């Protein structure tokens, strides 16, 4: 990439969102100085406070503004004072769908020093490519006779040949770029036969173009077993929106916890900016106390750099995080901003 100056839309959001985002920006500043790039930031005041004040989640005019940026950095949204679903659907999912973030990328790695609830997990380094714009999350459903004994609720999973093929192609390309060159399709095609067979046929068809990739298939329930008993077997997992959501929480739990899990909501065609955010939520129980681990947000900034073609900056952030993690001891007591300072210093050095 020859581009040097990038525009960044920043949505800190709720709870610990702004705290961890501040540290991610600190680290981005540190690496951009070294790598001769700039990030011009615009902050967007969206989330629970905005909704309480104005009833707005994401007005179309602001969505249009956000769309003009090169990338989006998001903290977390959600608050106990806002009815469940309002911000998730009205802000987070609206961004993912409107900006066509059809690849939800969630890497998992076990850092030896952090440890894992698993006794001997082996070398774990895999990435989940979760479909981001279809499946059961499209809002294709409705309810009748709500609150009565005869209530009906539907939530239809939408899978298109176009939507499945584009995410499967992205997953194969990612597998191709990784040393182990392995791809696992996770679905439930013995029960969800309509969607499951579309996914399976698509993977089989695209596989013929990638003869060096080893392909296998797991039902989602079996995948949860192997994520616990043998997570080292995985390299690239490609799966639908809902399965991917659940599997990546499990993946985070076995690999150092939610404080380390980063993600990218990616538009691989680059028709709109991609969005990078930690997997965790707004953690209202520790918000405002400088207790949150900003590492997931910082690793999300590394994914952002990678997506923008800033490979060296991304590698510098990852190396800084790895070094920081290696020095951690159980029950460490650094504040959010002390962790950010330490990683920023290493990333710049």
Nearer to ligand NAI, 189 or 300 (CB): 300
* Annotated catalytic residue within 45, 216, 221, 269: 221
d(CA 74, CA 151): 37
Alpha-carbon distance values, 330 to 115, 116, 166, 256, 276 (Å)? 10, 12, 42, 12, 28
- Do residues 16 and 27 touch, judged by C-beta distance below 8 A? no
Contacting Mg ion within 53-92 (CB under 5 A): none
What are the distances in angstroms from CA 181 to CA 121, 212, 318? 20, 7, 21
Catalytic pick from 188, 235, 240, 324? 188
Question: Annotated binding residue at 232?
Answer: no
Supply the minimum distance, in Å, between the C-beta of residue 15 and ligand NAI: 7
Q: Which candidate in 137, 235, 306, 324 is catalytic? A: 137
Of the residues 49, 181, 200, 249, only one is catalytic, namely 249
The reply to whether 118 sits near ligand NAI by the rule CB under 6 A is no
31 interacts with, out of ligand NAI, Mg ion, none, CB within 5 to 8 A per kind: none
Is 284 labeled as ligand-binding? Answer: yes
Q: Which does 245 bind (CB under 5 to 8 A by kind): ligand NAI, Mg ion, none?
A: Mg ion
Residue 262 to residue 241: CA distance in whole angstroms: 17
> Which among 70, 79, 100, 245 is annotated as catalytic?
245
Question: Binding of ligand NAI at residue 282 (CB under 6 A)?
Answer: yes
Residue (of 192, 199, 231) closest to 215 by Cα position = 199
* Choice from 76, 203, 275, 347 touching ligand NAI (CB under 6 A): 76
Query: Is residue 126 classed as helix, strand or coil in its secondary structure?
Result: strand
Minimum CB distance to ligand NAI smaller for 53 or for 212: 53
Any contact of residue 92 with ligand NAI (CB under 6 A)?
yes
Cα-only R_g, the chain: 20
Alpha helices in the chain, H assignment, sequence order: 17-35, 48-54, 60-67, 86-87, 94-98, 161-176, 193-207, 220-229, 241-254, 295-307, 311-326, 336-348
Q: Residue 49 CB, nearest distance to Mg ion (Å)?
A: 22
Task: Choose among 238, 236, 172: nearest CA to 199.
Answer: 238
Question: Which part of the chain contacts ligand NAI (CB under 6 A), choosing from 119-127, 168-176, 186-194, 285-293?
Answer: 285-293
Nearer to ligand NAI, 63 or 232 (CB): 63
Q: Taking the complex as a whole, how short is the minimal distance between the CB of residue 44 and ligand NAI, in angstroms?
A: 14
Active site residue 137: yes
**157 within 8 A of 136, measured Cβ to Cβ:** yes
Question: What part of residues 245-274 is at the interface with Mg ion (CB under 5 A)?
Answer: 245
Tally of residues, the chain: 349
Is 221 annotated as catalytic?
A: yes
Q: With the C-alpha atoms ordered 213, 257, 98, 26, is the resulting torsion angle positive or negative?
A: negative
CB-based contact 230:240 (threshold 8 Å): no
Binders in 254-273 for ligand NAI, by CB under 6 A:
258-259
Please report whether residue 78 would count as binding ligand NAI according to CB under 6 A: yes
**277: contact with Mg ion by CB under 5 A:** no
Sites of contact with ligand NAI (CB under 6 A): 16, 20, 76-79, 88, 92, 258-259, 277, 280-286, 292-293, 296
Residues belonging to the active site: 137, 188, 221, 245, 249
Binding site residues for Mg(2+), as ranges? 221, 245, 249
């Amino acid at each position: 990439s020859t581009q040097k100056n990038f525009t960044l839309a920043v949505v800190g959001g709720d709870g610990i969102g702004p705290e961890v985002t501040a540290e991610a920006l600190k680290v981005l500043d540190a690496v951009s100085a070294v790598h001769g790039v700039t990030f011009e930031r615009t902050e967007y005041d969206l989330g629970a406070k905005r909704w309480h004040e104005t009833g707005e989640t994401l007005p179309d005019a602001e969505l249009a503004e956000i769309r003009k940026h090169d990338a989006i950095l998001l903290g977390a949204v959600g608050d106990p004072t806002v009815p469940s679903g309002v911000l998730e659907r009205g802000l987070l999912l609206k961004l993912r769908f409107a900006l066509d973030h059809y690849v939800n990328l969630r890497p998992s790695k076990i850092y030896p020093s952090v440890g894992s609830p698993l006794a001997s997990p082996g070398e774990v380094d895999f990435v989940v490519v979760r479909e981001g714009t279809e499946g059961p999350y499209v809002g294709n459903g409705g309810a009748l006779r709500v609150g009565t004994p005869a209530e009906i609720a539907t939530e239809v999973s939408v899978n298109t040949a176009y939507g499945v093929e584009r995410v499967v192609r992205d997953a194969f390309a990612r597998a191709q770029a990784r040393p182990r060159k392995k791809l696992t399709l996770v679905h439930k095609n013995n029960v969800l036969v309509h969607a499951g067979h579309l996914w399976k046929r698509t993977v089989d068809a695209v596989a013929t173009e990638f003869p060096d990739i080893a392909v296998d298939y797991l039902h989602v329930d079996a995948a949860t077993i192997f994520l616990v008993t043998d997570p080292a077997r995985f390299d690239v997992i490609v799966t639908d929106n809902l399965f991917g959501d659940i599997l990546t929480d499990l993946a985070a739990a076995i690999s150092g916890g939610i404080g380390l899990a980063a993600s990218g909501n990616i538009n691989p065609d680059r028709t709109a900016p991609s969005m990078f955010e930690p997997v965790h939520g707004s953690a209202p129980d520790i918000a405002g106390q400088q207790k949150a681990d900003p590492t997931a947000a910082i690793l999300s900034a590394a994914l952002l750099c990678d997506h923008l073609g800033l490979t060296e900056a991304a590698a510098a952030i990852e190396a800084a995080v790895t070094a920081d993690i290696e020095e951690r001891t159980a029950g460490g007591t650094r504040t959010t901003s002390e962790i950010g300072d330490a990683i920023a210093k290493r990333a710049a050095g």
